[in-house]
Amino acid sequence: MVAVIEAYTTKDGLILFGNNKNIIGNVVSAEIKGPHYYEKELILKNEEGSKFIFKGGCFSAGYGGDGPNGTYAVLRELEFDIGKEFIYENENFKIEK
């Protein structure tokens, strides 16, 4: 299954993540990719292989700001061992548990 969740602000992205967290399940990998911060996608893959793609630039990386802070909040809530500095310093990345 692939689910696309579109949000244009970090606040909206965090709300939608919270509303769908129980559906997303146990996430085993997370990826941020895209050419520009406003075009970034956060791709969460769960242990069943389903992907949840957050589009619209609500979560991003590569600088210090709301988008990367939202990415950090989601990844910490999903129990990834990651620091803010890593998110600020890497425009695109993939991490696994």
Residue 36, pLDDT > 90, answer no
Number of domains in the chain: 1
* Burial zone of 42 (CB within 10 Å; 0-12 exposed, 13-18 middle, 19+ buried): buried
The overall average pLDDT reported for the chain is: 97
Mean pLDDT of 60-76: 97
Q: Please tell me the predicted confidence (pLDDT) of residue 38.
A: 84
- For the entire predicted model, the pTM comes to 0.96
Please choose, from the candidates 1, 95, 91, 96, the residue with its C-alpha nearest in 3D space to the C-alpha of residue 48.
Answer: 1
What range does the domain containing 67 cover?
Answer: 2-96
Residue 68, pLDDT > 90, answer yes
